[in-house]
Amino acid sequence: MNRKMKIAVSVFSGTLFLVVLLFLLPESWSRRVYNLTVGRFFRHTVESRLAQFGGAARARLSLKTFPGELRILAFKQEKRLELWGRNASDPAWNFLKEFRILTASGTTGPKLREGDRQVPEGFYEIESLHPNSHFYLALKLAYPSAEDIAMARQDNRDLRRLGSAIMLHGKSGSIGCIAVSNADMEEIFLLTAKARPENTKILIFPCDFRSRPLPEKTRPGWIGERYRKLCQSLAEFPRE
């Protein structure tokens, strides 16, 4: 076997090993391995990602102009996302599009600690856009919020163990995150990039309170008040 052939075989073997490793490792470790290997050599910017799919994503959205503000409503029980937008000239929120949630781990109820596999519930800022996510594309939520930390103190929970790296992302796996299809994530990523993360918020509901009643019994005790606030916020987002 000549030298070039040996190099080719080594590269192929190494690539195959990496693919198998990424598939077999737990999600958190798989993400770290990806970022330390493939992610180091093939880095995208938000702009380069938008150059790849922005035109097609905009065509699917059928938008003439992009909204200056964006709200993402996530309904865990219905496994549905809704996107709403508005501009400074129009105070009313306009419905843009609905997406199906492929995966959202856990059950009804807030995220309380690292490793509980729960998707948070409440009002969250978008901390950043991730064009190099191991899950294709991602929006990172600013979790835990100030209210989450305050409630953890009230419950005497360990503030160092509340969890982190909660994302809205592509592909289909989820441990405390919300996953949608890659094509849907392109549209969400595009809208968030155009509105900018600081003008985008995500509201995560246990269910759609426009068609379902508030739970009579809730645990922990403080979540009932958060549900009432979430329910009140839906007055700005009417659906027939």
Can you give the pLDDT at residue 237? 98
Tell whether 63 and 101 lie within a shared domain: yes
Tell whether 80 and 175 lie within a shared domain: yes
This prediction has a pTM of 0.82
- pLDDT, tens digit, 9 for 90 and up, residues 125-170: 999 999 999 899 999 999 999 999 999 999 999 999 999 999 999 9
- Angle at 124 (CA atoms; ends 199, 66), nearest 5 degrees: 25
Tell whether 174 and 145 lie within a shared domain: yes
Can you give the pLDDT at residue 202? 98
CATH number at residue 217: 2.40.440.10
Tell whether 159 and 203 lie within a shared domain: yes
Tell whether 122 and 17 lie within a shared domain: no
The pLDDT confidence band at residue 10, using thresholds 50, 70 and 90, is: low
Tell whether 5 and 101 lie within a shared domain: no
The pLDDT confidence band at residue 40, using thresholds 50, 70 and 90, is: low
Tell whether 34 and 72 lie within a shared domain: no
Tell whether 16 and 69 lie within a shared domain: no
Catalytic residues: 169, 177
Question: What percent of the chain stands above pLDDT 90?
Answer: 71
Q: What distances in angstroms separate CA 48 from CA 43, 52, 140, 188, 227, one per listed residue?
A: 9, 6, 19, 16, 39
Tell whether 150 and 220 lie within a shared domain: yes
- pLDDT, tens digit, 9 for 90 and up, residues 53-101: 999 999 999 998 999 999 999 999 999 999 999 998 888 999 999 999 9
* The total number of structural domains that make up the chain: 2
Tell whether 57 and 99 lie within a shared domain: yes
Structural domain range at position 9: 1-42
Tell whether 59 and 36 lie within a shared domain: no
Tell whether 145 and 221 lie within a shared domain: yes
